[in-house]
Chains A and B, each alone.
Chain A
C-alpha cells in the first residue's frame, strides 16, 4: 500500500530537506485505517511484528461498557455515534474510534440496578407501565436478601436518570477497535456528561 511511518521524508528541525539515502523498511510500515462501522461483527486478523496478532474490527455492534460509579460492566448494543471531537465526518458515517461518544442500550444496566437496589429508574416510565416495572424491582426475595437490599442506598444523578427514560445512555469508547477488535468504554457521568451533552446540543 505504501504507508510508512518514517520521519526521513520530513524536513529536519532546522528546515533542511533530507535527501533519501535508503528505501522504505518493513519496520517502518503503516497499514490502512480500520474505520470501524456499526453493523454485524466482522473482524479481520492481522499478523504483526514479532508474530503477534491484531484484530482489525471492520464492523461492530456490541461492546462491554462500565458504569463507573456503580463499578459494574455489562455487554450492550451500540446504537449510534453521536459526537467525535476530532472529525464530524466520523459522526455522520457512524465510525467507531477511541474517544467517540456513542449511545448504548440501557436495558442491562436498568435490570442490574432494579435488581440490586429494588428502585425503579427513569421515573416517567412509572406512569405508563406500572405493573411491568413492578416485577423487576419488586420481585420475590427471601427475608435475608430483602434486608441486604434495603441496606443499600441507590441514588443516581438527575442527568443519568433522564437517559434511562429513553433507554439510551451516553458512553465514550475507551478501547481501540482497529487494534483490539473490541468496542469497550464507560458510561458518561458528572462533569464529563455535562460537557458532552452541551457539545451535542450546540451542534444540533
Chain B
C-alpha cells in the first residue's frame, strides 16, 4: 500500500498495471534464481518494489556464491558482511586470522536480519560503487541456551 515513498512511481517493470480486463488481484512478477535457492514467501506475497532484488527485480545471480556474518544493517537495503578466513604462513607453518568486509544488497524479502546472523550471498552485476553481491539466503544466529530470556 505505502511502498510509494519516492518521488517517482515505484512499480515492477515486468507488470502492466492498466489492463482493461482485471486478472488476479495482486499482479506480481517474481522469479526462481536457480542453483537450488528457494524464493522466500515474502517475495511472492509482499508488496515491496525493489529493482535490485534477486527475486522480484532485474538482477541475475551468476558467478560466485559466498557466505559470511552480518556486521551492520544501517544502510538502506544493503548490509556489510564479514568473511573470516585463515591465511597460512609457510615459514612458521602456522595460520593467522584475516577478514574481509563485503557490501551486499539486502532485498526487503528478508525481514529481521540483524548483526550476527549468517547470510549467503550471490554475485551479480555491479549495483553501486561497492555492491556486487546480493543476499539470497538468511540463517538467523543460533543462540545456545535459547530457553534463556532474550530481547523480544
Interface residues of A (CB under 8 A from B): 7, 10, 13, 68-70, 85-86, 99, 155, 189-192, 195-196, 199
CA distance A155 to B19 in the complex (A): 12
Known: A7-B129, A13-B103, A13-B130. A85 touches B8 (CB 8 A): yes
* C-alpha gap A192/B9 in the complex (Å): 6
Does B73 make an interface contact (CB < 8 A)?
no
Among A7, A86, A192, the most chain B Cβ lie within 10 Å of the Cβ of A192
Q: Flag if B18 contacts A69 (CB, 8 Å).
A: yes
* A192 in contact with B19 given A10-B129, A13-B103, A85-B6 (CB within 8 Å): no
Q: For the complex, give the distance between the alpha carbons of A190 and B9 in Å.
A: 12
10 A-B residue pairs with CB within 8 Å:
A7-B129, A69-B20, A85-B7, A85-B8, A86-B8, A99-B8, A155-B20, A189-B17, A190-B18, A191-B9
Contact A199 B7 (CB under 8 A): yes
Name the B residues within 8 Å of A7 (CB-CB): 129
Q: Mark B77-108, 1 if CB is under 8 A from A, else 0.
A: 00000000000000000000000000100000
Whether a CB of chain A sits under 8 angstroms from the CB of B16 is: yes
B11 at the interface (CB under 8 A from A): yes
**B4 close to A (CB within 8 Å):** yes
Closest to A172 in B: B9
How many angstroms between the C-alpha atoms of A69 and B16 in the bound complex? 9
**Across the A-B interface, the 6 shortest Cβ-Cβ residue pairs:** A85-B8, A85-B7, A189-B18, A190-B18, A13-B130, A195-B9
* Per-position binary interface string of chain B over residues 6-43, scored 1 when its CB falls under 8 Å from any chain A CB and 0 otherwise: 11110100001111100000000000000000000000
User: Which residues of A lie under 8 Å from residue B9 when comparing CB positions?
Assistant: 191-192, 195-196
When the two chains form their complex, are residues B16 and A195 in contact, meaning their CB atoms are under 8 A apart?
A: no
Q: How large is the interface on B (under 10, 10 to 19, 20 to 34, 35 or more residues)?
A: 10 to 19
The reply to whether B17 and A192 contact each other, CB–CB distance below 8 Å, is yes
Contacting residues, chain B, for A85 (C-beta < 8 A): 6-8
How far, in Å, is B125 (CB) from chain A's closest CB? 15
Residue in B8, B16, B130 whose beta carbon sits within 8 Å of that of A68 in the complex: B16
The CB with the most chain A CB atoms within 10 A, among B6, B18, B129, B130, is that of B18
B18 contacts A68, C-beta separation under 8 Å: yes
List B contacts of A189 (CB < 8 A). 17-18
Contacts of A191 in B (CB 8 A): 9, 17
Bound form: Cα–Cα A68–B6 in Å: 24
Chain A residue numbers with a CB within 8 Å of B16 are: 68
Contacts of B103 in A (CB 8 A): 13
Chain B residues, CB < 8 A from A68: 16, 18-19
Contact B17 A190 (CB under 8 A): yes
Hey, which chain B residues are within 8 Å of A190, CB to CB?
Answer: 17-18
Q: Cβ of A192: which chain B residues have Cβ within 8 Å of it?
A: 9, 11, 17-18
| Contact, CB under 8 Å: B19 / A69 | yes
Minimal beta-carbon separation of A22 from chain B (angstroms): 20
